[in-house]
Amino acid sequence: MTRSDETGDATAEATELALEQRYVDRLYGRLDDLRRYAQERLRTVLLESGGTPQARSERESFNQLYTDDLAKYDAAENGLCFGRIDLERGGDGTDDGTEARYIGRVGILDEQGDFEPLLLDWRAPLARPFYLATPATPDGVTRRRHLRSRSRRIVGLADEYLDVAAAQRAGVVDASTGAATAGVAGESALLAALDAARTGHMNDIVETIQSEQDAIIRSEHRSVLVVQGGPGTGKTAVALHRAAYLLYTYRKQLDRAGVLIIGPNSTFLDYIGQVLPSLGETGVLLSTIGDLYPGVVATVDDSLRGGELKGSLDMLDVCKRAVRDRQELPKEPVRVVFDTYELVLDRKTVSTARGRARSSRKPHNIARPVFVKAVIDALARQFASIVGENLVGGGNLLSGEDLADIRSEMREDPAILREIDRLWPTLTPQEVLTGLWRDPRRLASAAPGLTESDRAELVRTGPGFSPADAPLLDELAELLGVDDSAERERSARRWRQQIEDAQGALDILTGSASQDIEDELDPEILMAYDIMDAEQLAERQDGNRSLTTAERAAGDRTWTYGHVIVDEAQELSHMAWRMLMRRIPNRWMTLVGDTAQTGDPAGTSSWQEVLEPYVARRWKLTELTVNYRTPSEIMTIAHDVLAEIDPAQQLPRSIRDSGHRPWARRVSEDGLDDAVAAAVEAETQLPGTTAVVVPQGMRSRFAHLESDTVSVATVRDVKGLEFDAVHLVEPHAVVAESPRGTSDLYVALTRATQRLGVLHTESLPESLSGLTHTESPEAANPRGGE
């Protein structure tokens, strides 16, 4: 290329940049207007007070609406517009006979014109070709442009021509091959994103979603969608963007029922926590399985074997037996004094009462009244026979009314109630489970099928629950039941009344609508009836109105969600699936995971096996095949490990090289601390984050190396996360400490976006033989890692 060509290109690019800047300035101008409008409306709403309940609830809903709008506009501020597609003339043509569509984080309409879109929300159907068009299937798109910005300034653009004619017009076709030389724009934007140093928090990927990911994000499948993909294929990113897409597309339905996202641990939830807010979505409940049972926070850990046992379906019988064991028969006849007479509750009487209650097939607490009635009836008969005989010395002359009085007195008699409570107590799930873990005799009785050593893994002396306890508490809650019929009836009545009131309020508003709009002369003013129906308005009026859907759902064990997304779904135990499925009766779920990465012994290696009981074969499998995280040099090593886990599994294809050769360094036991410290020290000279991944027992030994950018963690802790560099310590111990140790090794190796080093004192596992052995990390990458 000649000097004058280069100057010409630079001038052309500067002109294009200036044009795009002008357009983007206009978008920011509109964003500022929208923000000002929402702020003013919000201020007005907040200043108003008093009025009828309807007026108050309407204010409440507007308050929420404008607050949500402001959050959405703030989230869109950075990178408001990131792309543009030019399509062959179809809608409004530009000068050169093409239609330009701008793609961004929110939708913005042209209010000066006739409400044409100035900016398309990335989730809108019209924005889709931005993600899908390829030279083979351009879908009418002639050029895709990525816009790079810094705050409100456009600092770069990259074009991809999808048809040769358009490329020729733009003068970017290599005459000898006919190929569009600028055809790497999507790729360059993607590679720039993938190469960037990590911050410890995940970013959204709206600017560079790839077509196989887009198909999953927008999938119309209404049952269980399983997304299987190797490490770094974007499963988590896809799951989060799918949540944002579904909320955009099915807003009304999902706003009310809510979306639940399950992740493996709180570090992971923290890592992904900013993605949805950055997409303007704040109403999603993120939780671990361990925290899903309301009111219980998991504070202790099980042993690997203990967790495995608690996750197995054997626990169903254990839970059932644990509850039945609380329905006791007296060893000796129980004597109670009522009205100075001694009555006897013998084993047979209690057994008959218990049989009657059990055959009601109701949960324990709900069946209790049946037991109480049977016991009271028996005691009342006994009392009547003694007293009746004493009174007349012959046949019993007590009337039915007398007997009824006696029964009601007995029901309130403290001595009788004490005995009934002992024989059929009202129970909470927490009481039953704590009793089981604390009392070896109870455990032996409830779990006769377990060996003594397995039972020892379950016994716990201290307080608190573990993550694997949550599904058991949920199971027990089902077996015990809560007798809340009176409360339910009361709230159903209150709810019907609220809907009636809300409908009345909406009718009044509808009646005065035209007049209101004429007065205001502003079509942007939304009326209450535009944005909600009576049920939604009634919800706002509810006692819980200041709570968001996610907050209400989190506090209610019986809440059923509109959609559930599970990340690292392969880790869920059978008992956890049972718990989760109760919360999603419509089975509209997205499950993302990788059966080669299963680390929890209670987890699964077969999707069919875990889903069969709930949806039979009505679930759909989709796969992601490209690894966006791990460079090819590291994946070559991971390949041998994967072959050991499951030779049939395909390794995802790495999209890039890092130029760094993964290395291994063997040191003496005495030299390990210094070697790890030196490797970490070398990393701190470079940008980004480092993980020192260690066997369970070594965490505290290296904890002093932790800093803002360095984490010392076990494989379990780094599941789902990524770091610029990973240093794996003593891989043979990582493999040895779990029945799924090889999968753990695979997870550890695939966390790095750039560099991998292994430090060991004993021989490496066979599968790591591909590492470059070195005396110093620098020696493994002699040209500075190039």
Ligand X SMILES: Nc1ncnc2c1ncn2[C@@H]1O[C@H](COP(=O)(O)OP(=O)(O)OP(=O)(O)O)[C@@H](O)[C@H]1O
Nearest to ligand X of 205, 318 (CB atom):
205
Least distance between ligand X and beta carbon 327 (Å) = 46
Q: Pick one of 194, 289, 611, 694: the residue that binds ligand X (CB under 6 A).
A: 194
Nearest to ligand X of 683, 722 (CB atom):
722
Nearest to ligand X of 280, 720 (CB atom):
720
Nearest to ligand X of 277, 363 (CB atom):
277
Distance CA 563, CA 220 (A): 13
CA-based nearest residue to 541, from 494, 582, 507:
494
Pair of tokens at residue 529: 């009836």
Q: Would you state the torsion angle of the CA atoms of residues 594, 599, 603, 609, taken in this order, to the nearest 10 degrees?
A: 40
Classify the C-alpha dihedral 385-390-396-397 as positive or negative: negative
Place of tokens 């999902």: 254
Stretch that binds ligand X, among 17-25, 230-238, 366-374, 431-439 (CB under 6 A): 230-238
Q: Pick one of 722, 724, 730, 744: the residue that binds ligand X (CB under 6 A).
A: 722
The dihedrals phi and psi of 226, each to the nearest 5 degrees, come to -100, 125
Pair of tokens at residue 618: 């009505």
Instruction: Answer whether 61's CB lies under 8 Å from 68's CB.
Output: no
Decide if residue 205 touches ligand X (CB under 6 A).
yes
Q: Pick one of 79, 104, 231, 429: the residue that binds ligand X (CB under 6 A).
A: 231
Nearest to ligand X of 722, 730 (CB atom):
722
Distance CA 440, CA 453 (A): 12
Decide if residue 571 touches ligand X (CB under 6 A).
no
Binding site listing for ATP: 229-236
Decide if residue 209 touches ligand X (CB under 6 A).
yes
CA-based nearest residue to 325, from 425, 192, 396:
425
Decide if residue 234 touches ligand X (CB under 6 A).
yes
Site string for ligand X, 237-266 (x = CB under 6 A): x-----------------------------
Decide if residue 218 touches ligand X (CB under 6 A).
no
Distance CA 378, CA 382 (A): 6
Stretch that binds ligand X, among 10-18, 160-168, 207-215, 446-454 (CB under 6 A): 207-215
Nearest to ligand X of 173, 592 (CB atom):
592
Distance CA 655, CA 657 (A): 7
Stretch that binds ligand X, among 91-99, 149-157, 231-239, 730-738 (CB under 6 A): 231-239
Q: Pick one of 61, 149, 233, 570: the residue that binds ligand X (CB under 6 A).
A: 233
Nearest to ligand X of 138, 229 (CB atom):
229
Distance CA 347, CA 352 (A): 9
The three-state secondary structure class of 187 is helix
- What DSSP string runs through 105-145? SS-EE-TTTTS-EEEEETTSGGGTHHHH--SSS-TTEEEEE
CA-based nearest residue to 725, from 736, 711, 714, 715:
711
CA-based nearest residue to 581, from 479, 477, 474:
474
Stretch that binds ligand X, among 43-51, 235-243, 413-421, 697-705 (CB under 6 A): 235-243
Stretch that binds ligand X, among 48-56, 145-153, 209-217, 304-312 (CB under 6 A): 209-217
Q: For 514, what's the count of Cα atoms within 13 Å in the CB-facing half-sphere?
A: 1
Number of residues in contact with ligand X, rule: CB under 6 A?
25
Nearest to ligand X of 197, 397 (CB atom):
197
Decide if residue 210 touches ligand X (CB under 6 A).
yes
Write out the H or E segment, with its range, that includes residue 622: strand 619-624
Site string for ligand X, 726-755 (x = CB under 6 A): ------------------------x-----
Write out the H or E segment, with its range, that includes residue 152: none
Decide if residue 654 touches ligand X (CB under 6 A).
no
Pair of tokens at residue 723: 């770091």
CB atoms within 10 A of CB 239: 26
Decide if residue 213 touches ligand X (CB under 6 A).
yes
Least distance between ligand X and beta carbon 723 (Å) = 10
Decide if residue 642 touches ligand X (CB under 6 A).
no
Provide the binding-site residues for ligand X, judged by CB under 6 A.
Answer: 190, 193-194, 202-203, 205, 208-210, 213, 229, 231-237, 594, 597, 628-629, 720, 722, 750
